[in-house]
Amino acid sequence: MDRKGRSIIFYRVVLPVCTGVNLGLGILMLVLLHPLNWLNWMELVTGVLCCVIAGSLAAAGASRSYWGSAMERQVSAWRRVVDTIFHWIEEAPVPVDSIHTLKRSLDEAIASE
C-alpha cells in the first residue's frame, strides 16, 4: 500500500474512531464523577483532558481535509495557467537567432555554476 493510501485510511478511519473513543471516555468520566476529594478532581481533569484531545484530533482532521482540497484546487488552477502559457509559446513564431542566443545564455549560466 502506498503512502497516500495509508494517509487516507488514517484520516478517514483511524482518526475518527480514536476521536470518538476519546470523547466517549471523557464524557463518561465527567458524567460519573461527583468530585469530593483531590483524587476525584484529578479524575475530572482527566475527563476534561480527554475531551480536549478529542477536539484537537477532530480539528486536525478537519484542517487537513480543508487545506488538502484547497491545495488541490490551487494546483489544478496553476496547471491550467501553465498549459495555456505553453500553448501560446508553442504557437508563437520564434526566430532562429533568438533560440541560439537563448542556448548560449543557458550554456554560460550552467558553465558559471
Distance CA(41)–CA(3), nearest Å, equals 43
pLDDT in tens, 8-58: 777 778 878 887 887 787 777 777 777 778 887 887 788 788 878 888 888
- C-alpha dist (Å) from residue 42 to 1, 47, 48, 49, 55: 43, 9, 10, 10, 20
Distance CA(23)–CA(108), nearest Å, equals 63
**Burial profile 75-91: b = 16 or more Cβ within 10 angstroms, e = fewer:** eeeeeeeeeeeeeeeee
Give the model's confidence band at 113: pLDDT under 50 very low, under 70 low, under 90 confident, else very high: low
- Asked if 65 and 8 touch (Cβ cutoff 8 Å), the reply is no
